Amino acid sequence: MPFGSLKIWGKNEVKKITNQLLSAIQYIKPYEGKLWQKGKRSGNLIRFYDEREWRYIPNTPDGETPYWLRVKDIESKKANIEELNKEFASVKSLRLSFEPKDIKFIIVKQEDEILSMMDKVINIKRHKFSYKDVQILTTRIISMENIKENF
């Protein structure tokens, strides 16, 4: 295509590019900002980069914009996070399912957080999984202090 020429894109090309961009946007997270809690923005500046979490984005049918990205006003989406969470929970195909055996590590920051995390794991999972599976899961808890010192 010669310099200065314009390519006219058809509806299908524009839709494909739009969906690719929207797909990529789902993985973007601000470096830092104010946290939303109970529909309100907190006054404290949080560095989201420091969070130790993975982001799960469920697949959607090709060519279909996920409904959580169709919300025109992002701020209103944040205010209605409980409603969105209920919607996600009701659609089985959007759930991330895994078993205790899939978890290799549960990492806490300091050694003194391990017992508290063990209690949380036991309380959360004891009704869903066998006693043996929950016990094995608690053995996967390790601290960053331990990792830095020994690995």
For the whole model, what pTM was predicted?
Answer: 0.52
For residue 65, which phi and psi values (nearest 5 degrees)? -75, 130
8 Å CB contact between 34 and 75 = no
Structural domain that includes position 109? 98-151
Q: Are residues 72 and 91 in the same domain?
A: yes
Tell me, yes or no, whether 102 and 138 share the same domain. Answer: yes
What does each of the 151 residues of the chain score in pLDDT, given as a tens digit?
555 555 777 888 887 888 788 778 878 878 888 877 776 777 788 888 777 677 777 776 665 666 555 655 555 566 567 777 777 777 777 777 888 889 999 999 999 999 999 999 999 888 888 999 999 999 999 999 999 999 8
The answer to whether residue 32 is domain-embedded is yes
CA trace torsion 59, 71, 73, 18 (10° rounding): 60
Do residues 85 and 14 both lie within one domain?
yes
Check whether residue 52 and residue 21 sit in a common domain.
Answer: yes
Tally of helices (H runs) and strands (E runs) in the chain: 6, 4
| 55 and 115 housed in the same domain | no
